[in-house]
Amino acid sequence: MTDTPHPARSSEFLSRLYDGELAPADREAFATHRAACDECRQAADAFAAALAAFRASPTAPPAADLSARILRKIRAQSPSRRPFGVMFGIDVRWAGVVIAALLVVLISTPLVLRRPDAMAVRPLAIPARILDGPATAKAPSTEVRAAGKTDAAPRAAAPAPAPALASKEEAPAAILAEAPQKPAAREAPADEEKRRYAPAPQAAAQAAPSAARRMTAEPSGGEAASSGATAAEVAERAVRLSVRAFDGEGPAPAVVSHPPDARLAGLRGLEFVLTVEAQGRVRAVQASAGNGFLADTPRSASDAAGVGDVLKELRFAPGDRSRRLLVRVE
């Protein structure tokens, strides 16, 4: 029981008394006090009377159409909104997830399938040996001559049957450095290069097939025609890669590794502009029209894949910036 002389002045006390929550001792003590205290007796009586009146006060029942009005209002305020976005029996939250997944698949599938390495049938590795390595990296222009059955990449894995090499001329794969040949003639001004190479990714994809088609449509072109050799002879002859700087940033980096001749032979007589990352990887290949300018004939996407892919396997000596190189296959 409260310590105040008139506990009924406290609403908390009266509320507990009304709810029957007072301890028996407190309840008896208040009953004794109440008998002698008019103020507390009146307060307790008024409290009980007020609550009794409140409980007994009548309430009119709702109008018969109140539920219908409520439902009409709900429909009117949200005619197209269903709880949780359920429409046509489909929970749109999950429908959204499914649609997003479908979009991802639809968008990514062509990209994946167009990746050359996803579609191309990789040839068997052909053993190769490179006589001159990074020592030629400082040469402003580099030529790579590879024998018909070479693959410079797996040097350490070169098989035992590879013949011993007595000189560069006898090497099945050789990299020969040459003095620069009129680099200024090949190097266009910076703005000219920007204009020329601006559409790099698409141009690369489109330009390559042109080169490939030109190669097959002009059987008399390139070294094969000028020398009068048969196709078999041409295929067997070593492939030479003439590499020149095309960006005015100094001498071309050395070729560290290259794909086998068998794969490069089909590109004889063609020129390409390569975008090479600082790490030495070829990022983009664009067919050149043979005069240093990019080929601009529209080509199909299917032609674009193979040619560019082969040259992307070239690896150059790392440098401190990306480079643009003109590569001619001979």
Partner 1 sequence: MTQPDNSDEELLALARQGEDEAFGDFVRRHTATVHRWMVRAVGGDDADDMTQEVFVKAYRGLGRFRGDAPPRAWLAAIADNAVKNRYRSRSRFRRVFAGSSDTDPAREPEAPGAGPEDEARTGESRRVVAEALKLLPADFRMPVVLRDIEEWSYEEIAVSLGLPVGTVKSRIARGRGQLKEILAPLLSGRLP
Residues of this chain that interact with partner 1 (CB under 8 A) are 11-12, 14-16, 18, 43, 46-47, 49-63, 66-67, 69-71, 73-75, 77-78, 82-84, 86-87, 89
The residue (of 87 and 135) whose beta carbon lies closer to partner 1 is 87
C-alpha distance from residue 223 to each of 192, 263, 289 (Å) = 30, 17, 17
How many other C-beta atoms are found inside a 10 Å radius of the C-beta of residue 47? 17
Q: Find the shortest distance in angstroms from Cβ 84 to partner 1.
A: 5
How many other C-beta atoms are found inside a 10 Å radius of the C-beta of residue 131? 17
Pairwise CA distance, residues 99 & 329, whole Å: 48
The residue (of 31 and 70) whose beta carbon lies closer to partner 1 is 70
Please identify which residue in the block is written with the tokens 């994946």: 112
Q: Find the shortest distance in angstroms from Cβ 90 to partner 1.
A: 9
Please identify which residue in the block is written with the tokens 């479908």: 102
Contact 274, 327 (CB under 8 A): yes
Q: Find the shortest distance in angstroms from Cβ 199 to partner 1.
A: 49
The residue (of 76 and 156) whose beta carbon lies closer to partner 1 is 76
CA contacts within 13 A on the Cβ side of 307? 34
- Pick from 310, 317, 280, 252: which is nearest to 117 by CA? 310
Q: Find the shortest distance in angstroms from Cβ 28 to partner 1.
A: 21
Distance of CA 34 to the CA centre of its chain: 84
How many other C-beta atoms are found inside a 10 Å radius of the C-beta of residue 38? 8
Contact 219, 213 (CB under 8 A): no
The residue (of 55 and 122) whose beta carbon lies closer to partner 1 is 55
Q: Find the shortest distance in angstroms from Cβ 9 to partner 1.
A: 10
The residue (of 12 and 38) whose beta carbon lies closer to partner 1 is 12
Q: Find the shortest distance in angstroms from Cβ 20 to partner 1.
A: 12
The residue (of 8 and 175) whose beta carbon lies closer to partner 1 is 8
